[in-house]
Structure 1
Amino acid sequence: MSEAPTKYKVLFYNKLNNHQHIINTFGFVENNFGTITLLQERASHGHFQELLKKKLFEPSSMVLIVIFLQIIDAMVYNVGKGMIHDDLRCSNVLVFQMDSSKPEENFVKLTNFALARPNKPSLLDDRRSTIPVEYCAPEILRSAGRLNYSELSEIYSMGVLMWEACSQGHTPYG
């Protein structure tokens, strides 16, 4: 995670812990200063974006489709649990199995719920400190960040993630 998780975020992980395409969180440890460290499973191949950028993984179109469907499956589960990931990007997808030519040999999981929040249309709350501009839906940018993500803005971010994967891990607008 990009920032130290709070107990609030730990609850998100616990709520989403039972899906095959979402990172498993086994628990957390809190030190004397109140800093929380999540205990999560390890992805054998690391981040999707890094593999693409370093050309360690050059998936075929069919493999990409399977990976996208796995991410979408996790998104649908999140929304069903009343959650929005709010930071979809290739660097927040972990690769557990990969094969550039065999779609059925690929397995990914969504991670980094640091910006995740309940899926309720409302004005921005005080917990929001970062907006992932490159992946952000236009309506969020036009509102100067005052609006929260919704399922629709999450779909936009998924489209940007798909572009990022098809462009071999290039950062949008970068």
Structure 2
Amino acid sequence: MTALTRAQELSQFWQPICHSYQQGLTVLPPFLGLSAEGFQALCDDFASVGLTVIVDTAQHHSPVRRLRNDLLVMREPELQELLDLLHQHSNPDAHYQQLAATVIAYGCLGSQHLWKDLGLPERPRLSQLFAWYFPALFQRNDRNMRWKRFLYKQLCESGGDYVCRAPSCEQCSTYAECFGPES
């Protein structure tokens, strides 16, 4: 993938995520999982390149988001393993690589396809996000496995506490769930 400017990263990836977050269409916790200061810096970056994103501060403190945040405490070790995996494979030239790792890790804790849990408009946009922020993982997913499943498979293969269901994907009883078309 060719180099992206800060404005391209913001418009291509972060504007749709923030818009969906504002509408309550993501599983992301308050401030997208960032600190309040980190979230404000992202909003300031939007303004600095002439993009607008409006996130009502009440969105960060909605009852649903507070509950999600409380439940995430129980999954802290899992979140940290996902963050470690993503940080190990991040693109140092990307402006928002730390943000991408954090938001994706939190998105993985949702129950739908990762692109939906993040609020992206379609799966190809998520693949573009991986190609830019995590090119080594993008290359490794050469069979186009669904991203959330792919990340957990990587954790399994690295000796994590995640159950690998079969010695190879072709032998797995849920093969079609990982590689089938998304609806």
Shorter-chain TM band: 0.3 to 0.5
TM-score normalised to structure 2 length: 0.32
The structure whose residues are more often strand, as a share, is: 1
The structure whose residues are more often helix, as a share, is: 2
TM-score normalised to structure 1 length: 0.33
